[in-house]
Structure 1
Amino acid sequence: MLNGKTVVIGVSGGIAVYKACDVVSRLKKLRANVHVIMTKSATEFVAPLTFQSLSQNYVIDDMFEEPKTWDVEHISLAKKADLFLVAPATANIIGKIANGIADDMLTTTIMATKAKVLIAPAMNTNMYENAIVQKNINTLKELDFNFVEPESGRLACGDMGKGKLASPEKIVDEVVDLLTKKQDLKGKHIIITAGPTVESIDPVRYITNRSTGKMGYAIANKAIQRGAEVTLISGPTNLMPPKKLKKLVKIESAQDMYEAVIDNLDENQVIIKSAAVADYKPKSYCDKKIKKSNDDLIINLDRNKDIAYEIGKVKGDKILVGFAAETNDLIENAKGKVKKKNLDFIVANDLTQEGSGFGVDTNIVKIIDREGDIIEYPKMKKEEVANVILDKVKALLEK
């Protein structure tokens, strides 16, 4: 399956190093060419000779040892790699990579590679949940580094919680997925809307919502990975836009978003409306700050255009995907939107469920199509939900 592919595995110091031996063995059975780089700490847990025997390539564990070839080794391995796997990845090594520190052979080679990097964290639960570690992980995710989430259970230290290295089977599955994923959306042009909209009241105040844009940005990132030409129309977020976008259009108000979608509609085959667009806007805008007084402030609101509804009237044979974030009557409300807005399908989620909706990295969705058929999904990372949505889009494009 991986014949002709080169995987460079970086092994950092932790009790889970022994599982990396199994990972190397499994990759060799899939006929991958495997090279191993170990940190000094890693060699305290498993001898380099073990990895050398399993990989059938010499192991690098010292940046300044006598070279085995005339190549500059960190540059040579960086160029050879089709994928760079770090397993186990300690808090220390994650922090180094996130902050551009290259002080050993492992971090130096990662800095020099242009291959995809897959990181499999393993550490104590409290370390994994530490705000600094999570910030470093999120920084790397925004830079298009891939992660295999650690598992929950009993840790080597005796604690119970999240932090166990993912199983070798799961890690290898992720490697295979990254190396063999088909460009099944290549040549397809997709609009994705993301984030909130902002409706100004005066120069200081505005109306908005709790959307962070994570779902829309995840869809955009996965669509690009699958070969699509993506136009991302985004409200204000704190997220780093995916690399290799065809176009990024930053907007603020619902009217801005409507105009951006219409301007880009003709050249795109698919529109995925994951943005949380404000339904209402202030009837009038005050160009000076409204001063506080002893009276109550009443703000009259007008309806904004329903962007999905407007697109649905003119979409022709384009594919239109909507979202429904509800707190009650989820199925009934979502089905009504599919019919009213001429959607091909809708992604519905109940905001009252833990791990679903705004500001979290997971989602719990139901997909409802034009015939009223419903597919329910368990709680998944938003990146996984993104691929579910894109799989459905792909199936419709092939009809």
Structure 2
Amino acid sequence: MTEAAFIDIDGGQVRLRGDWTIANYTVLASEVARLRALVADTADVAEIDLAALGALDTAGVSLLHQLLGKDRLAMLASDASPLPSERRALLRAVADVIDASTASTAPARGYAFGDIMEHAGIGMLAFYRHVIDIAGFIGITLETGFHVLLRPRRWRITSLAANLERTGLDAVPIVALLTFLIGAVVAFLGATVLAGFGASIFTVDLVAFSFLREFGPMLTAIIVAGRTASAFTAQIGSMRANEEIDAIRVGGLNPVELLVVPRVAALLLALPMLSFIAMISGIVGGMLVCALTLEISPTMFLSVLESHVGLRHFIVGMAKAPIFAFLIAVIGCLEGFRVEGSAQSVGEHTTSSVVQSIFIVIVVDAVAALFCMEMGW
């Protein structure tokens, strides 16, 4: 017979005695750990003597679970057990919690292809839900915008002007500088390639076509997506974290009308103007390179531009700007409303708004390019 303060094992019988409570947990845990080598024998014993068992609480039941195992403890908790009903209920409750926690923490067994398909399915479902959220928010924004448009007294001119300054005027230097440099780079590349064919004059067409149709509006939209969409998300997300949006609703105001519509309207006005500045800056950068490396004077550059480049290319480029502006503003505001209330959530959704905005700008630009090519525009 192996004797311990609370556990006796004698042949095919296990005797439990004393108070199995939190007060004796340290001693009980050490005894259970010392007798773990006998657990296999304990699981096969024919009888468990509980006559000398004193008080019992959840800490004691958890140690019994370790010592006797799930199946033996379930037998003690069954209706056939000699234990009182309240102790059987305690055993069942604690055993269920322990089994549930063990099952939830156990690693799921699978295989590589199934795991890949599972992750793909989860990603597609999340993408589908996000598309539905964006579509719904676009509908709410359009509905609120038309509702406000028909009521001039509800126009928020001050908010519109402030957002127009931040999104438009403050972005002019960075847009102009970057597009000027990119225009110079495009001209350098065109001069390097076309000079080998004796067609350096077509560098003018390359710079003009690329900036009027593609680079002007797309580069501007990408810059605005990184600069303005993140600002919209951070501003609205901080308000949501501070429960200011809830205060707006309690005050009887519409957060979409108060926060989203002025920002969307400001970006709808600012992005076409920034795109025009980007087109001019890119062409000026290309003109400077042509004048310095190809000996194409500004007068000749403008003459070739006027004769070779039609107005429709400018119209196609400018038509993309409002679409980009609307999508960027909606995504930035939506991600702000999805902030959950912590600084980490603000950062995550700000990053998400920038990534989504840049992605949607490139996708829409590619679709528009294919459409215009098929239409012969």
TM (norm. structure 2) is: 0.21
The structure with more radius of gyration:
2
Structure number with higher relative contact order (C-alpha < 8 Å, ≥ 6 residues apart): 2
Which structure has more strand as a fraction of its residues? Answer: 1
